[in-house]
Structure 1
């Protein structure tokens, strides 16, 4: 069944999802193609189109290392398609809505009021990933009465290169446009598009929750900390994002990012921004992949892409390190929910004892958040030993559950897994609707009560075969959390 809505940019035709009451619109442009002179520019407004845009298929993903070749475990987990189309013209959104009935132009809204909106930002270390991954299907979330939007953004060298030439270009235009963090700016522009156009899909532009996983959760934290986002969204969910640890512990400076671009341009043999923008995308990506880590970085042996092409403190979109922004209480006024999987990102402490760095980083973020005077977050630990192999509760393994897409996974899930997924979808959508994950399950019975983080008490919701509030962290993780909390409450 085909359904047409009318946005401020033009008419868009969607198609019934796997459940006919859900309509999905795939591949709607939210910004002009970032190609040619728009490479390494802040996203520009999309031109309105004539006629009806057929939005049945996902748009190409941003150029990236060949999907299916980057990580054998995760490529198998997500069923990555190596034939997926890649193109610099990649700034598109996808929308799942339960609010429409009828067909063709004869479409009507069935909701008596606009529905809450959830905007998804995918992960992939800022280097890989796309909105078409099958675990990100928004149908199950939309079934719970929300409009779901997934936003694509520029990755790796296309999204996170900056150079002094770009700052000079911005100054010459005198438009005060940002000249770095283009991937983060794309996400920001995607949420702006949602705010301007989501009413046509039955969504409430005044009730937007952004959510993401891994680098997508790091992106959510960046959006929370950016002064450009004041009032743009009211809630945020960070999944497997490591809080103020791991890749969020320290953001690159503009100068560091500039030096990486200098090394790349030297390798390419270009001597101007015009020349750099004329390098074919495949040649640019190859050179970016081949560029080693900076010689003075102390990060030999790491994948160079995650060292060279990541967000930086540019003074415009990001004005300071995340931790310092939050410590000063300068983050945007939002309510947050966050969590991690059991044993995520294990690291050795000074004593050689292994710590779950994802958990500790989240607890540090919670401590700073509360210290800044904001409401205590809702915090979870996903504790499911995934069936089918011995991988345990690995990084981002909660995605199948929070999206309700277990049936699309190769793993032999059983009944209680589906029960847990149903509860998680309810928690996520309840939080998006009201700022409180509690409420009825799909069958109308109350969900197990989830309380806000409470130091020295039950502090986390354990999402597992038994769903309940717990305080049973490992000794070292608990010690670190309590030390951090003590610092937060006495300074």
Structure 2
């Protein structure tokens, strides 16, 4: 890349005791300077924190280009998260000035050029989260240094608006919603335009994310606006088809205290209200009355623009992208523990509690569907099931319904629509490291992230060798996939060949610290996937009957 006739990429590298690091980099908005971190004897990672990819956004407006800056911006500190409620929903944190990203560039004995680029979208139920979230024993959970260094890829982590500022919608053109998705799109577009100056290949971008971040990746794949923008995608524990990943009734603006019979007046009232108050009012209005899933009322919507139709009808847009997707074996456990608290306690979990959970999840279908689902999930119980079996069944129901089945449908739709792009499926089932849970609990929601981001290497004292093995495997598969579209080929060796998922052949890789040939399975939980996609879907919707 050249700027005013000077090869910046060549001239701004500096030597650091046998290594190289990027000095000042010219971006479209101005010059930025990061900081070099030593990783090994001859390896370094340049870290740029807090680069703006858009201007301070207007309230419920799409992101706008950043006006730029003079001089050299010191990109050495993370910027504020986007305005959001705290986890306990008692107060707010963050700022409206939050559209920033962070870049991690590996350097060795040669100047990095043409590296694959991986852009990460964080999770947090579309309500909370940040690109530098949850600092545990040192660096942020999403610190990209280990992954960049070990996989020889550039890692980018981005902020986007969440909660009411990101996803409030009136269901029409006045407040269409999806502002958080537009932010993500703006960030990926910025990366495509600017990453070459950091040593990245703009034609080899992979987007990846976990939970709501995975659903966001899924929406970015399905949007017509993403054509040619990136090359591959990875979703971990969430897709656009997940029942919690979309708003069905986007009129919740009325709950904020801006009730007006005239909707234009209501919107004017909302725009004049302090955003901190909007965020707090709404979070209190959304406190759950049924199952945990009912809390997630703020999410993307079908707006006729970024998301022009039902997600299941948009997979022709995703046919161009290589796609890797999977779930954790107990993704639903943490939510099941809120809906049916007895599963994590000594007291018994009753038949009534299991039926109550199913009733909460399937309320749009009515009692016949509840009885049907109950008989499917209790078929293996026998006449006197052990409590561990009953409790694990509750976790399985919530995992299947919220995560596993929607992901399997997404994989199938991708494989059915693809024209040359590849599809891969996995199940992550490393036993939980969270103390205090029952013995039957396997991989909890979000437990994959510590391994993917290399925490067992960054903070070795709190992990065992088996955790480093797993971390190495995941980084290898993920970064190989980003480099070539095939998790088996690239710069990193992998323990076993991972076969692709196709229209007629559905293998998956079980990911833990003991990956071998026997880790390849087929037709993941197909009995339950078939139940939800065929039998359950054949029950009429109660709401539809009422309308008729």
Report the RMSD for the aligned CA atoms in angstroms. Answer: 3.2
Quote the offset at 1:233 in angstroms: 0.6
- Superposed, 1:40-119 pairs within 5 Å as 40-67=60-87, 69=88, 86-99=94-107, 110-111=111-112, 113-119=113-119
Seen in structure 2, the aligned counterparts of structure 1 residues 9 and 305 have a Cα distance that, compared at 3 Å, is: farther
The corresponding residue for 1:331 is 318
Task: Please give the alpha-carbon distance, in whole angstroms, between the structure 2 residues aligned to 1:150 and 1:201.
Answer: 15
Q: Which runs of 5+ in 1 are unaligned?
A: 72-81, 102-108, 170-178, 294-298
Task: Please give the alpha-carbon distance, in whole angstroms, between the structure 2 residues aligned to 1:93 and 1:267.
Answer: 36
Task: Please give the alpha-carbon distance, in whole angstroms, between the structure 1 residues aligned to 2:25 and 2:72.
Answer: 9
- Superposed, 1:366-381 pairs within 5 Å as 366-374=411-419, 375=421, 377-381=423-427
Seen in structure 2, the aligned counterparts of structure 1 residues 12 and 368 have a Cα distance that, compared at 3 Å, is: same
User: 2:306 aligned with 1:317, yes or no?
Assistant: yes
Task: Please give the alpha-carbon distance, in whole angstroms, between the structure 2 residues aligned to 1:446 and 1:221.
Answer: 26
Task: Please give the alpha-carbon distance, in whole angstroms, between the structure 2 residues aligned to 1:70 and 1:459.
Answer: 41
Does the aligned pair in 2 maintain the 1:156–1:305 contact within 8 Å?
no
Task: Please give the alpha-carbon distance, in whole angstroms, between the structure 1 residues aligned to 2:76 and 2:33.
Answer: 7
Does the aligned pair in 2 maintain the 1:131–1:151 contact within 8 Å?
yes
Aligned counterpart in structure 2 of residue 395 of structure 1, from 434, 445, 456 = 445
TM-score (norm 1): 0.81
Quote the offset at 1:460 in angstroms: 1.2
Task: Please give the alpha-carbon distance, in whole angstroms, between the structure 2 residues aligned to 1:63 and 1:218.
Answer: 20
Does the aligned pair in 2 maintain the 1:26–1:93 contact within 8 Å?
yes
SS of the equivalent of 2:409 reads: helix
Larger radius of gyration: 2
User: 2:373 aligned with 1:362, yes or no?
Assistant: no
TM-score (norm 2): 0.73
Task: Please give the alpha-carbon distance, in whole angstroms, between the structure 2 residues aligned to 1:215 and 1:151.
Answer: 14
The corresponding residue for 1:105 is none
- Superposed, 1:22-41 pairs within 5 Å as 22-34=45-57, 38-41=58-61
SS of the equivalent of 1:287 reads: helix
User: 2:168 aligned with 1:161, yes or no?
Assistant: yes
Task: Please give the alpha-carbon distance, in whole angstroms, between the structure 2 residues aligned to 1:435 and 1:345.
Answer: 29
Seen in structure 2, the aligned counterparts of structure 1 residues 407 and 426 have a Cα distance that, compared at 3 Å, is: closer
User: 2:146 aligned with 1:140, yes or no?
Assistant: yes
Quote the offset at 1:100 in angstroms: 8.3
Task: Please give the alpha-carbon distance, in whole angstroms, between the structure 2 residues aligned to 1:352 and 1:483.
Answer: 8
Does the aligned pair in 2 maintain the 1:13–1:55 contact within 8 Å?
yes
Task: Please give the alpha-carbon distance, in whole angstroms, between the structure 2 residues aligned to 1:233 and 1:52.
Answer: 29
Higher mean C-alpha deviation, range 187-196 or range 262-271:
262-271
Aligned counterpart in structure 2 of residue 21 of structure 1, from 33, 44, 49 = 44
Seen in structure 2, the aligned counterparts of structure 1 residues 190 and 242 have a Cα distance that, compared at 3 Å, is: closer
User: 2:235 aligned with 1:238, yes or no?
Assistant: yes
Q: Output one character per residue of 1:166-192: Cα deviation in whole Å (capped at 9) or x when no partner.
A: 8259xxxxxxxxx42000000000000
Task: Please give the alpha-carbon distance, in whole angstroms, between the structure 2 residues aligned to 1:262 and 1:305.
Answer: 17
User: 2:459 aligned with 1:462, yes or no?
Assistant: no
Q: Output one character per residue of 1:398-427: Cα deviation in whole Å (capped at 9) or x when no partner.
A: 001111123567994210110110111011
**Relative contact order (C-alpha < 8 Å, sep 6+): which is higher?**
1
Aligned counterpart in structure 2 of residue 479 of structure 1, from 510, 527, 530 = 527
Task: Please give the alpha-carbon distance, in whole angstroms, between the structure 1 residues aligned to 2:73 and 2:411.
Answer: 43
- Superposed, 1:112-261 pairs within 5 Å as 113-133=113-133, 134-143=140-149, 144-163=151-170, 167-168=173-174, 179-241=176-238, 244-248=241-245, 251-253=246-248, 256-257=249-250, 259-261=251-253
Higher mean C-alpha deviation, range 143-152 or range 350-359:
350-359
The corresponding residue for 1:453 is 501
Task: Please give the alpha-carbon distance, in whole angstroms, between the structure 2 residues aligned to 1:282 and 1:213.
Answer: 27
Does the aligned pair in 1 maintain the 2:326–2:428 contact within 8 Å?
yes
Task: Please give the alpha-carbon distance, in whole angstroms, between the structure 2 residues aligned to 1:146 and 1:186.
Answer: 23
Quote the offset at 1:147 in angstroms: 0.8
Higher mean C-alpha deviation, range 260-269 or range 304-313:
260-269
Does the aligned pair in 2 maintain the 1:30–1:46 contact within 8 Å?
yes
Higher mean C-alpha deviation, range 344-353 or range 45-54:
344-353
Quote the offset at 1:162 in angstroms: 2.1
